[in-house]
């Protein structure tokens, strides 16, 4: 079992469309921890940690959901340190 942490930046019309709330609802179907937040530059940042297969499946589910119509660009990187949280939250910072 290998634990991975991914950071994804979503660009497009991703703020003001319920993106974070919808992402949180989709995450409920996966065994991952992390968070999602709006950025001042108009993008949305998501960080998720869990078993590699779960994180990959989650990111695929986000891409295949209705949110895809709002995304024009997606940048994914692997983080060296796991996201240290319990559950998955919407951050407001």
* C-alpha to C-alpha distance for 49 and 51, rounded to whole angstroms: 7
Active-site residue list: 20, 38
Buried b or exposed e, range 42-63, using 16+ CB within 10 angstroms: ebbbbbbbbeeebbebbbeebe
* C-alpha to C-alpha distance for 48 and 18, rounded to whole angstroms: 19
Q: Which of the four CATH numbers 3.40.190.10, 2.130.10.10, 3.40.50.920, 3.30.70.100 does domain 3-90 have?
A: 3.30.70.100
- pLDDT tier, 1 (very low <50, low <70, confident <90, very high otherwise): confident
> pTM here?
0.94
The phi and psi torsions of 21 (rounded to 5 degrees) equal: -65, -45
Domain ranges of the chain: 3-90
Please write the tens of the pLDDT for every residue from 28-71.
Answer: 999 999 999 999 999 999 999 999 999 999 999 999 999 999 99
């Amino acid at each position: 079992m290998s634990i991975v942490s991914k950071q994804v930046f979503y660009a497009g019309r991703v703020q003001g469309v319920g993106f974070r709330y919808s992402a949180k609802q989709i995450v409920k179907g996966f065994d991952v921890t992390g968070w999602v937040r709006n950025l001042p530059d108009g993008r949305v940042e998501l960080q998720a940690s869990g078993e590699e297969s779960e994180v990959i499946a989650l990111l695929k589910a986000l891409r295949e959901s209705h949110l895809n119509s709002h995304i024009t660009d997606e940048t994914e990187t692997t983080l060296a340190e796991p996201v240290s949280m319990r559950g998955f939250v919407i951050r407001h910072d």
